[in-house]
């Protein structure tokens, strides 16, 4: 951690107790930090006034970008749900058609008509049963592929967001350090 980073974290109250303990064990480091602030208070203040807003802006960008990743994957899932529900309805209707056909055959009391009804089913309805099974397995495969694509894209989006944030704050901290060192040299 650079001295500027430590100062920022102290200012923001973000240094965990353990880290503070570590700093206490090295009074020299702490002295160096205070000498930063004391050498030229005006310039030091100017440095912070300039770079703290930049850090805030990095945080805002991260937050916006993260929620946009979330929004994107949520809306893709909803769109997928909508698309899938059409196929679901097709399958449901086809299955209900067969069910109705079987009920209709079961209701027939005349033996000859009863057998003929089921005989017809083997030709027409079994093709539908096969289609239902075939479509269902294709739909299941396609759905799970699309869901994992959405997951991967979401991961890449948030990972990119993290990466941009880490790089951005690192750059600001380095600039701030440079600014503080220049004020010390004056």
Interface residue list for ligand NAG (CB under 6 A): 40, 42-43, 76, 79-80, 83, 90-91, 94, 131-132, 135, 146, 156, 159, 163, 186
Residue closest to 68 by CA, chosen among 164, 171, 170: 164
Tell me how far, at minimum, the Cβ of 99 lies from ligand NAG, in Å: 13
User: Between residues 24 and 38, which has the closer beta carbon with respect to ligand NAG?
Assistant: 38
What is the DSSP track for 36-103?
HHHHTHHHHHHHHHHHHHHHHHHHHHHHHHHHHHHHHHHHHHHHHHHHHHHHHHHHHHHHHHHHHHHH
Rg (CA), the chain: 34
Q: Which residues contact 182 (CB under 8 A, 6 or more apart)?
A: 43
Tell me how far, at minimum, the Cβ of 69 lies from ligand NAG, in Å: 13
User: Between residues 2 and 39, which has the closer beta carbon with respect to ligand NAG?
Assistant: 39
User: Between residues 113 and 138, which has the closer beta carbon with respect to ligand NAG?
Assistant: 138
Tell me how far, at minimum, the Cβ of 184 lies from ligand NAG, in Å: 9
User: Between residues 101 and 114, which has the closer beta carbon with respect to ligand NAG?
Assistant: 101
Tokens 């004391």 map to which residue? 38
Tell me how far, at minimum, the Cβ of 14 lies from ligand NAG, in Å: 21
């Amino acid at each position: 951690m650079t001295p500027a980073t430590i100062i920022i974290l102290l200012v923001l109250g973000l240094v965990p107790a353990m880290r503070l303990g570590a700093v206490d064990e090295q009074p020299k480091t702490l002295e160096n930090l205070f000498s930063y602030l004391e050498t030229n208070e005006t310039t030091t203040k100017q440095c912070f006034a300039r770079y703290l807003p930049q850090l805030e802006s990095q945080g805002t960008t991260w937050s916006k970008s993260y929620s946009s990743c979330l929004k994107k994957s949520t809306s893709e899932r909803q769109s997928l749900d909508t698309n899938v529900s059409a196929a679901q309805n097709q399958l449901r209707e086809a299955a209900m058609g067969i069910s109705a056909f079987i009920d209709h055959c079961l209701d027939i009391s005349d033996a000859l008509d009863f057998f003929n009804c089921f005989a017809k089913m083997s030709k027409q309805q079994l093709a539908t049963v096969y289609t239902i099974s075939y479509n269902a397995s294709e739909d299941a495969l396609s759905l799970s592929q699309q869901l994992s694509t959405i997951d991967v894209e979401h991961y890449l989006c948030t990972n990119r967001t993290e990466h941009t944030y880490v790089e951005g704050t690192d750059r600001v901290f380095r600039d701030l350090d440079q600014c503080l060192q220049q004020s010390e040299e004056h």
